Structure 1
Amino acid sequence: MDLIDYIIIALKVIVGISILNVWLIQPKKPSKWRGGDAKTIVEEFEVYGLSKTFCYIIGFLKVSLALILLASIAFVNLTLIGSLGLAVLLLGSIIMHLKVKDELYKSFPAFLFIVMNLVIALHYLKVFS
C-alpha cells in the first residue's frame, strides 16, 4: 500500500468515528457547533423546523453510512455508498445552518467532513475506474 492509501484509511476512520460520536455518544450534550441555541440534536432539528421523527431518520442514515464507510476499509466496494451518502447528508446540514442564519463557523465541521468524503470518493474512483 502507498502512503495515500493509509491517508484514505485515516480519513475514513476520522469521519466514521466522528459521525458515530456525534450521533451515539454526544447527542444530548451541548456543542458550539449545534444550530441556533440548541443543546441537543433533537433541539437542533427543532431549530431547523424539522420533526423529531426526521431527526431519528437522519440519525439512522448517518450512523448507517458511517458504519458503511468504516466497513469500506475492509470491503472497498462500499466506499462510494458511505462517502457520497454522508457528503449529501452533510450538505443538508450546511443548508440548514444557512437557513436559520447561523454563524458560519457552525457549518465548518460539516464542510470539513464533506471535503474529506469527497477526497475518499475521488481516490476510490481514481484507483478503481
Structure 2
Amino acid sequence: MNYVIIACQIIVGLSILNVWLIQYKKETKWRGGNAKTIVEEFKVYGLSETMYYIVGFLKVTLAILLIVGIWVPVLTQPAALGLAVLLLGSIVMHFKIKDPLFKSFPAALFLTLCLVIAFM
C-alpha cells in the first residue's frame, strides 16, 4: 500500500506542477468557461490576479511538499489536505460558472487522490 500512496504523491504533485509551471499559458479542455490560460480562467471565475498568484503559490508549494513528503513523511498529510481544500475550491468555481461537469474531472480526481494520501 505504501507504494500506491507514493505513486499518488508523485502523480498529484507532478500534475499540479505541470499545470501551474508548464501548461499555465496553454489552452486545454479543462479550463473554466472559455478561458485559454490560467489567468483568464481566474477572471472567468470572478477572481483577481492577486488571487491567481496566491492560489498558484500555494498549489506549487503544496505540490512540492507532497513530493518531498515521500522522504519527510510528516509533510505528507498537511500538504495533501491543503491541496484537497484548494482542489475543492476549483470544483466550486466550475459549478459557480455552470461549467459542464467534465471540466471538474481533474480537480475531482486529484481531490480524491489527496484524500486517499492524507488518510491512508
> Which band: TM-score by shorter chain?
over 0.9
1:80 Cα shift? 1.1
Q: Which residue of 2 aligns with 1:12?
A: 9
Q: Which residue of 1 aligns with 2:105?
A: 108
1:1-129 superposed matches below 5 A: 4-123=1-120
Distance 2:104 2:58 in 1: 19
> Tell me, which stretches of 5 or more residues in structure 1 are unaligned?
124-129
Percent identical pairs in the alignment equals 65
> Tell me, which stretches of 5 or more residues in structure 2 are unaligned?
none
Distance 2:20 2:78 in 1: 19
Distance 1:103 1:28 in 2: 22
- One-letter code aligned to 2:2: D
Distance 1:30 1:7 in 2: 31
Moved over 3 A (4+): none
TM-score by length of 2: 0.99
Distance 2:51 2:117 in 1: 27
1:52 Cα shift? 0.8
TM-score by length of 1: 0.92
CA RMSD of aligned residues (A): 0.4
Distance 1:81 1:59 in 2: 17
Distance 2:38 2:53 in 1: 10
Distance 2:65 2:25 in 1: 24
1:83 Cα shift? 0.3
Paired residues in the alignment total 120
Distance 1:49 1:35 in 2: 11
Distance 2:24 2:93 in 1: 17
- One-letter code aligned to 1:5: N
